[in-house]
Amino acid sequence: MRKYNFIDLFAGCGGLSEGFYRQEFKALAHIEINPTACKTLKTRMKYYGYENPEKAVLNLDITREDVIERLEEAVDGEDVDIIIGGPPCQAYSSLGRAKDDNAMRNDPRNYLFESYVKILNHYKPKFFVFENVTGMLTARINGEHIVNRIVASLSENYKVKFDAKINVLNAANYGVPQIRKRVIIIGVRKDIEIEPEEMYAGIIKTHYDPEMPDDEKQGLKKYITVRDAIAELPKLRPGQGEKEICFESRRDNEFLKKIRSADDVTLRDHVARNHNDKDAERYAVMSGQHWTFKELLENRPDLKHENPRVFGNSYTVQWWDLPSKTIIAHLYKDGNQFIHPDASQNRTFTVREAARIQSFPDDFVFEGPRTEQFKQIGNAVPPLLAEVVAKCIKEKLNKLEADDDI
């Protein structure tokens, strides 16, 4: 079977494309506006043996009028089998809407999907994957549900099934040590005799999550935990760690075998932030006592935060024996929602720990300073989730090729 080609829009650091790389798809082009994320994309392309990352990674605003021309130069006449990507999600996220007086109604990012559709309708690949946050399902602009407008636009040349019951995937159900629900819309070109429902039927759950009813757990493995993902990493106190060290993983569970190759003896970006004394004590007490922040405030008023806006889940420990909560880009500002479960380390997650929770391989290099690395990780699609989607699409493309339909 031949290699299939993809274009990645709003590529970020390449979490979605990593899943397609792992299924041996070939990247023709990535479009990404953030220059540091583009450096990460180029570094990863080099890792996979590409000789043209400077040409294939386009650091540009996707709304530019000449975007198709720029893409054409990178694609260089090759067939495009699939387009993947998801517009930035701040305008659709409930957090973004809560922080904005106009509930993001005037945010131009609401309409970035139009650029995706423009490129999609130009190339008309066999399939597309459109990814976004679940906040997209409830976001409204001038009283209209934005999701209805997005689905209608995507449907011009494609069969699209929209039903939250099948479109929302939880990364924890696919071997990622994290509760992360995302909308995945898969489109099938109208001349292809495959229905969208068949695509979702091919995305097979492998693990149950903590919220799943018992009757749905049958035949599924237990969720991957924070312990499975990061317990083996060297212990660090605040401010400790080095950019790169020699390290041999135990690779003693299924997750570690997926994200770390047997011959890898390097550990990157496992460096702890410095924390002030009061925060370090909050972390130690919360993880040691197994307390929420509310319980900390009730039992240790001396550790109350001086900022009255800090409340509720502002400080959260990620417990050893559960999947982590959703990794977010806010990590670049502080890690208070990602407190390490080991009280003796009294700190927040390192870049490598966050990357493992997102299921990035240990040999994945994030370019830029730590703030940029955290942003890239928090905005990414977990590669193991992306790989399940890529595997399903590859099977369908193989079937079409075998039937001589493409």
Quote the Cα angle for 7-8-9, to 5°. Answer: 115
Q: Which residues does 218 contact at the CB level (< 8 Å), separation at least 6?
A: none
Residue 98 is predicted with a pLDDT of 41
* CB-side neighbour CA atoms (13 Å) of 182: 30
C-alpha 365/C-alpha 41 separation (Å) is 9
Q: What is the identity of the amino acid at 235? A: K
Options 13, 38, 89, 392, the catalytic residue: 89
Which of 288, 309, 310, 308 is closest to 299 using CA atoms? 288
C-alpha 287/C-alpha 397 separation (Å) is 48
C-alpha 117/C-alpha 155 separation (Å) is 9
What's the mean per-residue pLDDT of the chain? Answer: 92
- Tokens 């720029």 belong to 70
Q: What is the DSSP string of 12-37?
A: TTSHHHHHHHHTT-EEEEEEES-HHH
52 burial (CB, 10 Å; 0-12 / 13-18 / 19+) is: middle
Residue 277 is predicted with a pLDDT of 95
Which of 331, 224, 20 is closest to 6 using CA atoms? 20
Query: What are the pLDDT digits (tens) for 147-171?
Result: 999 999 999 999 999 999 999 999 9
270 burial (CB, 10 Å; 0-12 / 13-18 / 19+) is: buried
First to last CA, the chain: 12
Which of 118, 131, 99 is closest to 12 using CA atoms? 131
Which of 78, 97, 12 is closest to 364 using CA atoms? 12
- 317: β partners: 339
Residue 90 is predicted with a pLDDT of 56
Query: pTM for the whole thing?
Result: 0.94
What beta strand segments (E) does 45-126 contain?
57-59, 82-85
- Tokens 């001349």 belong to 191
Whether residue 256 contacts residue 365, with contact meaning beta carbons closer than 8 Å, is answered with: no
- Tokens 């999609």 belong to 120
Residue 306 is predicted with a pLDDT of 80
* CB-side neighbour CA atoms (13 Å) of 319: 9
Task: Kindly report the backbone phi and psi dihedral angles of residue 385, in degrees, each rounded to the nearest multiple of 5, phi listed first.
Answer: -70, -45
Annotated active-site residue 392? The verdict is no
Residue 388 is predicted with a pLDDT of 98
SS3 content of the chain, % helix, strand, coil (to 5): 40, 15, 45
CA 397 vs. chain centroid, Å, equals 24
Task: Take residue 362 and report the two structure tokens written for it.
Answer: 């240990």
Query: What are the pLDDT digits (tens) for 320-368?
Result: 999 999 999 989 999 999 999 999 999 999 999 999 999 999 999 999 9
DSSP 403: T
**CA-to-CA separations, 398 to 21, 264, 347, 387, in angstroms, rounded:** 16, 32, 47, 16
**pLDDT < 70 stretches in the chain:** 1, 89-110, 308, 311, 405-406
